Chains A and B, each alone.
Chain A
Amino acid sequence: MGSAILNGILMGSIYGLTAVGLTLIFGVLKVINFAQGAFLMSGLFATYWFVKFTGTNPYLALVVVVPFTYFMGYYIQKFLIKPVFESEKDVREPIGVIIVTTGIWYMLDNLALMLFGAQYRTINVPSVSKAISIFGLYAPLSKIIGFFISITVSGLLFWFLKYSKMGKAIRATSQDREAASLMGINQYKIYNVTFGIGTAICGIAGAVLLPFYYVYPTVGMHLDIMDFVIVVLGGLGSIPGALVGGLIIGLIESVGSQFIAYSWTIEVIYIIFLIILFVKPSGLFGVKGEF
């Protein structure tokens, strides 16, 4: 039982991390990024190939994977999403952009299929994948490391948005992009950076997941659906909300399944999801535009 709770907390925080990028991009761009799963897949593949070619530790891959996914997101926003944005600039929640992100999702998934084939791939890191005992509770080191990385990344992001100059500009844009523009903030630059940060977090999530997960071109799909639930549960646009949403799902999945069949836990997740939507439609931490 103790191990199940521990696993729930560890997995929950990692689920939360996979959803942070999605919530950030929504909070600022007001766009539901359907390519989220594809970015996660890119992060997983980037980590996979780094480990495969260098033979080093997957966490070292962060040095390469984070800049790679950051610039991928930055330029995708700059060259593919921005033009659509500009043509829809008078709309608060641009639908055209959502369609574009769906296109990017398909493009990236199929690109991966063409380049790497449909087979499943894993990396074998015995040093972190074996379960270790902490006060009699068992958990693999890879998930414990994943937990700390998730908390650290979310904390750093929170601090960055709250106190750094760029962070303040991002928050200003998310609250009112016209007013922010009037204050001399380059709205599209902020969008590029936000998108870059969002995808970079997907890259980090990829490096965290790979030691105990697998990768194939449509792997993002499973995580994608869960991420949407997490983000809506926690409140669209809220970073602590994403973490808490992740924890709730992780705990229901892991602890709930000790009492009922594992496949039933999904039912429970969606029931709780619906209840929260009825009681608090903006999600647990959902205050629009607030981080």
Chain B
Amino acid sequence: MCKLNWFKFSFSLMLFFFVTLFSGAFVNSANAQKKEVVIGNILPLSGPSASAGVEGKKMREFIVKQFNANGGFECKGELNGAKIKMIYLDTKSNPTVGVTDVQQLINGDNVDLITGAWNSGVTYPASQVAEMHKVPFVVPVSVMDRITGRGFKYLFRIAAKDSWWTRDQFRFIDYLAKKTNKKIKTLGLVYINNDFGKSFDDSWLKLAKQHGYKVILNESYAETATDLTPVVLKIKSAKPQILLVVSDAADAILLQNTMANYDVRPWAVISSGGGQADPAFIKNTGKNADYLFDMSEWAPDMNKPGLKELNKKFKKAYGIDVNGETMDAYVGMHTIIAVLKKTCSTNPDKFRKEMLRSKLSTGPFTVMSYPYVKFDKDGQNVDAGLILVQVRKVGNKYERVTVWPEEDARAGFKVVFPQPNHY
């Protein structure tokens, strides 16, 4: 009796699956014209990186709202007349949650495309799941080198990878020497002892050798350090001409203020877009951060057509200025839309083909720090460039002013090097 019941149960279960499967196939083939493109977004909407995630979400909403209001896709193919539907899931900056999110989006929500996840540590495993299911994954931000170059076919990264950051920092040092005719010989490297800092330091040491600079100080400090005076005293006695720094938020403030208090002023301090890019940094250091260089992907004061207008509209809608985070989301969303317009289909192979073929430089793409979006066969945006900002006094406030590359520099500003009163 019991056996028979089990048989009946498994039989009906199989029947149920078959029916669902066939009805699904039937609906799909009958519905050749798609009404909507479903894009899954995985972002850190709570937890330590929440502010970045929330800002990115706002920009995505801003773009999609406008796009749908204008009638959605207009193209010859299955997407004609289709609109975009966004689904947002929170990763909490946790890789495990990110992976579950992607599974949910693919199996539960049948998304056509995924974008996210901001944290490199989340993007890395999450994109693997998407690749397995042949769902295109567009990465606007995560910079960890290893994300691309895994032979994935459906992964595309907009942001510059982290080895490019150090490469451009050294290009900038070369530029400083050439531009001002000063002989730069010695470097000091100070970094926070975590993945972020260590990967920069490894790369700096190699580049210093290649570019012919002598590293006379290579110092790390723990994430939990409460006093950075010992590090500052070491800088003071070693006196490197250029100081390269990687910091998170709190320690960036502590380091900058302690250096100012001990009057430690190298020719230039060049930081790496970590804590120094946090709005809290300038607020809490002010004059102490004067003439600091920071690497960035983008800045609101860049000399780019259409930028002011975009900022005005976005601020009106969400009350915040466009910043680096929102800009990454902006380029990511516009890339997806531009490519889908061309393929007029959500077929992942067509999407890949078009992504590799496109070179996006007009329309919404004029506000970026680099001239175009173009992907190599690894899915990396090949010319994602970086810029340098210098903290300068504008009026009675200290601001991040774009100074390099020269053509993007804020009108009326040039690099100040070496900084006044240096040792």
Contacts and interface: CB of A to CB of B under 8 A. Distances in A.
A120 B276 CA distance: 12
Interface in B195-237: 219-222, 224-227, 229-231, 233-234
Contacts, number: 79
Interface in B404-421: none
Interface of B: 193, 219-222, 224-227, 229-231, 233-234, 249-250, 253-254, 257-258, 261-263, 278, 280, 284, 286
Contact of A262 (B230, B249, B254): B230
Given A213-B226, A225-B224, A257 B284 contact: no
A8 B55 CA distance: 42
B4 to A, nearest CB: 55
Looking at A130, A253, A262, the one whose CB has the most chain B CB atoms below 10 A away is A262
Given A253-B227, A258-B234, 18 more contacts: A7-B227, A7-B233, A120-B253, A121-B280, A121-B284, A130-B261, A131-B263, A140-B261, A212-B258, A213-B226, A214-B284, A223-B226, A225-B224, A262-B220, A262-B222, A262-B230, A263-B193, A265-B230
Contacts of B233: 3-4, 7, 254, 258
Contacts of B193: 263
B261 A212 contact: yes
B309 to A, nearest CB: 30
B391 to A, nearest CB: 16
Looking at B224, B230, B249, B257, the one whose CB has the most chain A CB atoms below 10 A away is B230
A124 interface: yes
A120 B285 CA distance: 11
A285 interface: no
A257 B257 contact: no
Interface string A211-225: 011101000001101
Interface string A147-190: 00000000000000000000000000000000000000000000
A130 B278 CA distance: 24
B9 to A, nearest CB: 48
Secondary structure dominating the interface of B:
helix
Contacts of A72: none
A261 B220 contact: yes
A19 B295 CA distance: 39
Nearest to A15: B226
Interface of A: 3-4, 7, 11, 15, 119-122, 124, 129-131, 138, 140, 212-214, 216, 222-223, 225-226, 253-254, 257-258, 261-263, 265-266
A57 B92 CA distance: 40
A138 B229 CA distance: 11
Contacts of A7: 227, 229-230, 233
A266 B234 CA distance: 17
A174 B380 CA distance: 66
A263 B221 CA distance: 4
Nearest 9 interchain pairs by C-beta = A257-B230, A122-B284, A263-B193, A263-B220, A262-B221, A120-B280, A131-B262, A263-B222, A7-B229
A262 B224 CA distance: 12
Nearest to B262: A131
Contacts of A263: 193, 220-222, 225
A225 B258 CA distance: 23
12 contacts: A4-B230, A120-B249, A122-B284, A131-B263, A140-B262, A213-B254, A222-B224, A225-B224, A258-B233, A258-B234, A262-B234, A263-B220
Contacts of B231: 257, 262
A150 B258 CA distance: 21
Contacts of B262: 131, 138, 140
Contacts of A265: 230
Given A214-B253, A254-B230, A261-B220, A119 B258 contact: no
Contacts of B263: 130-131
Contacts of A222: 224-226
